[in-house]
Structure 1
Amino acid sequence: MAELLEVERLSAGYGEAQVLFDIDLSLAEGRSLALLGRNGVGKTTLVNSIIGVTRRRGGRIVLAGRDLTTATPEQRAHAGIGWVPQERNIFKSLTVLENLTAVATPGAWTTERVFSMFPRLAERKANLGNQLSGGEQQMLAIGRALMLNPKLLLLDEPTEGLAPIIVEELLRALKRLVRDEGLSAIVIEQHARKILELTDEAIVLERGRIVLAAGSAELLADPSRLERHLGLAAA
């Protein structure tokens, strides 16, 4: 299976502060990766580095054979990286439909397909972004990223702060994306077990370095390996 994403010896941070140290990872086309670790270990910085909004101190980032190391965030989006940040960053003064169509690029993902995955958005397509609940805003953020028709989808804490019923709905949608649709994805998630049940592979970060890399099923079968690094977060 061809490698979609290749990160080689990546070191990066913000300003004078270095957060990541010599990160090596690869993700094959159609595979999904859980990005785990305690708060403040560099998970979001790694995702931010892939989309190009950190200060790179070394290393390379290649997507589908294209070197994106010096590319701008806009160029990386056009190359096929979709991003759902923890802050969601939807256009709150635009309607749901306008949010989706504003960033759309031609491809398999259309507004109708997004509405099929998230029926709540179809019901609220004329509502402004600031009229949606937190869970609906997260669905819109994911839908908007899909409208870019990405090769790789990056999600930063997609279930954070949401009601349990909404969390389950989002997890079902993510399972459909990575299992049924075969979309390559990297997902940051505090609740390890929830995301390991959906993903193919996992890495754990500590102090900006990868300290554990394994198959998701392997870690579910032997949770003690996660507990050494995550403690209660592995439950």
Structure 2
Amino acid sequence: MAELLKIEGLRSGYGEAVVVQGIDLVLPQGESLALLGRNGTGKTTLLNTLVGVTRRHAGRIVLAGQDLTALAPHQRAAAGIGWVPQERNIFKSLTVDENLSAVARPGPWTVARAYEMFPRLAERKSNMGNQLSGGEQQMLAVARALVLNPKLLLLDEPLEGLAPIIVEELLRSIARVVRDEGMSAIIVEQNPRMILPITQRAVVLDRGSVVHEGASAALLEDREQLDRWLAVARH
């Protein structure tokens, strides 16, 4: 399978503080990756570095053969990175429809298709962003990233703080995008049991470094490793 993302010797952080250290990672085209680890291990920093909003101290990032290392965030977005940060970053003073149409780019993911994926958004297309619930805002943030038609989708804890029924709905949609339709994605999630079943590969970070890399299915079955790195209770 063709290589989509290649990270080599990446060290990054904020100011002089180095958070992510010596990351080497390859993501093939069409594969999804669960990025796991306890709080403060560098997961969000790694995504932020791919987007271009941290300070890079060393290393290289290549997406679909294009070196992103020296590019600004808007140039990385144009190169094919779609990002859903924890803060969501939707336009709260625009309607749902305006949020989507303002950023949509040509490709298979159209605004109409986003509405088909998220019927709740279709029902609220005339609502302002600040009139949506937290779960609906998260759906809108994911839909906005999809209509950019990115090569790589980055999701930073997309299920955090949402009601169980919304978690279930959003998880089904993410599974459809990454598992059934083969969009390449890196997904940060605190609960490995939610995200490992819908991704192909898993990476665990600890103190800013990769301490485990392998198949998601194998890690899901390895209770000892889950306990060791992620403090997941045994059942």
Q: TM bucket by the smaller chain? A: over 0.9
Partner of 2:53: 53
Is this contact kept in 1: 2:31–2:185, CA < 8 A? yes
Partner of 1:183: 183
Partner of 1:62: 62
Q: Distance in 2 between matches of 1:234 and 1:127?
A: 44
- With normalisation by structure 1, the TM-score equals 0.98
Query: Tell me, which stretches of 5 or more residues in structure 1 are unaligned?
Result: none
Is this contact kept in 2: 1:81–1:150, CA < 8 A? yes
CA RMSD of aligned residues (A): 1.0
Partner of 1:220: 220
Partner of 2:92: 92
Is this contact kept in 1: 2:3–2:28, CA < 8 A? yes
Measure how far apart 1:96 and its partner are.
Answer: 0.1
Q: Does 1:206 align with 2:234?
A: no
| Alignment map for 1:54-133 (pairs within 5 Å) | 54-133=54-133
Cα 1:234–1:29, aligned 2, differ >3 Å: closer, same or farther?
farther
- With normalisation by structure 2, the TM-score equals 0.98
Q: Distance in 1 between matches of 2:172 and 2:110?
A: 19
Corresponding letter in the other structure for 1:110: T
Tell me how many residue pairs correspond in the alignment: 235
Measure how far apart 1:202 and its partner are.
Answer: 0.4
Corresponding letter in the other structure for 2:57: R
Partner of 2:171: 171
Measure how far apart 1:222 and its partner are.
Answer: 1.4
Is this contact kept in 2: 1:192–1:233, CA < 8 A? no
Q: Distance in 2 between matches of 1:90 and 1:198?
A: 25
| Alignment map for 1:139-178 (pairs within 5 Å) | 139-178=139-178
Query: Tell me, which stretches of 5 or more residues in structure 2 are unaligned?
Result: none
* CA deviation vs aligned residue, 1:168-211 (integer Å, no higher than 9, x gap): 00000011001111100000000001000100000110110000
Q: Distance in 1 between matches of 2:188 and 2:42?
A: 11
Partner of 1:31: 31
Measure how far apart 1:223 and its partner are.
Answer: 2.0
Q: Distance in 2 between matches of 1:133 and 1:66?
A: 38
Q: Distance in 1 between matches of 2:168 and 2:104?
A: 27
Q: Distance in 2 between matches of 1:232 and 1:170?
A: 22
Corresponding letter in the other structure for 2:2: A
Cα 1:99–1:175, aligned 2, differ >3 Å: closer, same or farther?
same
Is this contact kept in 2: 1:191–1:233, CA < 8 A? no
SS at match of 1:38: coil
Q: Distance in 2 between matches of 1:206 and 1:40?
A: 8
Q: Distance in 1 between matches of 2:219 and 2:62?
A: 27
* CA deviation vs aligned residue, 1:143-173 (integer Å, no higher than 9, x gap): 0001110010000000000000000000000
